[in-house]
Structure 1
Amino acid sequence: MPDLQLFWSTLLTLFVILDPPGLLPVFLGLTAALPARERNRAALRASLVAIGVIAAFAIFGRYILDYLHISVEAMQVSGGFLLLLVALQLLMGAESGLGETDGTNVAIVPLGTPLLAGPGAIVATMLAVNRAGGPVGYLLVAAALAGAIALVYLFLRFAGGIRLLLRDSGTVLASRIAGLLLSAIAVQMIADGVFGMIAAH
């Protein structure tokens, strides 16, 4: 009998970590300069990048990190600094420069990674794989990951409707709020990584 508890626990954990509702103002801020079609393509690209990166780490993560002698805490610190740079651009009103190359840049970084495929989602999926205990469990974890990313894509795909409601002034305000949120997330990621390194030694 398939362990459906593994599926639901993994799905809910990933949904909470990915936080699609909280990602909406960030997505709107980063894609403010893009037309609707390119914004939708950016949502799809970001989702595909996220599921690809998380799946790769779920399968090969421990080997990759061990081979490169990289700790999860180091990933948190580096991801935090990357997010902090993006947050500063949003706060200073430079988000239009993030949308070059038809949204490909923002879809990969920072949306696809590290916002979606960040240390939290990667580690949670790796732990779920460790608990899977067999092929059926692996399939359940894969289905939970696909379901969580599908929910993220739906939130981002229909962010355009929210932008229409907010209008230009509301979108600018959302960009500034997103900058504040991202800066706080970035500092927290850096702090968690630093304290994790200290605890490990």
Structure 2
Amino acid sequence: MIDFLAVFIVFFAVIDPIGTVPVFIAVTKNFDEVGKRKIAIIASFVAALILLFFAVVGELLLTAMGIPLPAFQIAGGVVLFIFAITMIFGESKPEEEVRIAEAHHETAIFPLAVPSIAGPGAMLACVLMTENSRFNTWEQIQTVSMMLAVLLINLILMLIASKVHRIIGNAGASVISRVMGLILASVAVTNLLSGITTYFKL
């Protein structure tokens, strides 16, 4: 049995549903309400497929390439930590991705599905939290269910994005994104230390 709350918090941090709201608003500002709903659903569906792919096939790809899982866990921990540091000290997720949205005028796929929802941090988290050596099939299914729950929350927030943004504003989304970055940094260090420990036990 997994720690549902811990897994939920990790996915909430890396997917950052609240930080997605200003990105969604920027991407869909020229669409009517029907178009916005359609984009939200498509983006959520594509992001879910991408993250499910990494949860199911990610470790198999590593094995096929001859990369030991501890090495990927260490690398993943480093990348997640850098990703978290940029969330804390650099441009926050909403600030950075709103700029991307305004520059490229894309809709559901970029930058909304990737990298706003299914970003590199979320992809790495899917692989690291469904390791075959650490989690059985039932626990992996539970982890995936938590990921899908966060994606559902993300979809709901996009569908009510205008109301949410009026409440928290860009500043509020930025603050929450930085707090999520701090949580993610702690998770990254845990994965890094776990990978190092496992590697030297081999």
1:11–1:150 Cα change, 3 Å: farther
Counterparts of 1:190 and 1:14, CA distance in 2: 13
- 1:27 and 2:20 aligned: yes
Alignment of 1:46-195 (within 5 A): 46-64=47-65, 66=67, 70-85=71-86, 88-90=90-92, 93-99=95-101, 100=104, 101-103=106-108, 104-119=110-125, 121-127=126-132, 132=136, 138=137, 140=138, 143-144=141-142, 147-168=145-166, 170-189=168-187, 191-192=189-190, 195=193
Amino acid in the other structure paired with 1:154: L
Does the Cα contact within 8 Å between 1:40 and 1:156 map onto a contact in 2?
no
The alignment of Structure 1 onto Structure 2 pairs a total of residues equal to 184
The CA RMSD measured in Å over matched residues stands at 3.8
1:161–1:75 Cα change, 3 Å: same
Q: Identity percentage over the alignment?
A: 10
Counterparts of 2:161 and 2:52, CA distance in 1: 25
1:195–1:178 Cα change, 3 Å: same
- TM-aligned CA deviation for residue 152 of structure 1: 2.7
Segments of 5+ residues of structure 1 without an aligned counterpart are 1-8, 133-137
1:93–1:57 Cα change, 3 Å: closer
Residue 71 of structure 1 aligns to a residue whose secondary structure is helix
1:141–1:64 Cα change, 3 Å: farther
TM-score (norm 1): 0.66
Amino acid in the other structure paired with 1:117: M
Amino acid in the other structure paired with 2:72: S
Moved more, 108-117 or 149-158: 108-117
- TM-aligned CA deviation for residue 160 of structure 1: 2.9
Q: Which has the higher helix share?
A: 1
Counterparts of 1:130 and 1:142, CA distance in 2: 10
Amino acid in the other structure paired with 1:95: E
Counterparts of 1:70 and 1:180, CA distance in 2: 28
Query: Deviations for 1:48-69, whole angstroms, at most 9, x for unmatched residues?
Result: 2111111112444444462699
TM-score (norm 2): 0.66
Does the Cα contact within 8 Å between 2:97 and 2:116 map onto a contact in 1?
no
Query: Deviations for 1:66-89, whole angstroms, at most 9, x for unmatched residues?
Result: 269933011111133234445522
Amino acid in the other structure paired with 1:57: G
1:39–1:173 Cα change, 3 Å: farther
- TM-aligned CA deviation for residue 106 of structure 1: 4.2
Counterparts of 2:190 and 2:135, CA distance in 1: 24
Counterparts of 1:141 and 1:191, CA distance in 2: 22
- TM-aligned CA deviation for residue 158 of structure 1: 0.9
Counterparts of 2:19 and 2:163, CA distance in 1: 16
Equivalent in the alignment of 2:32: none
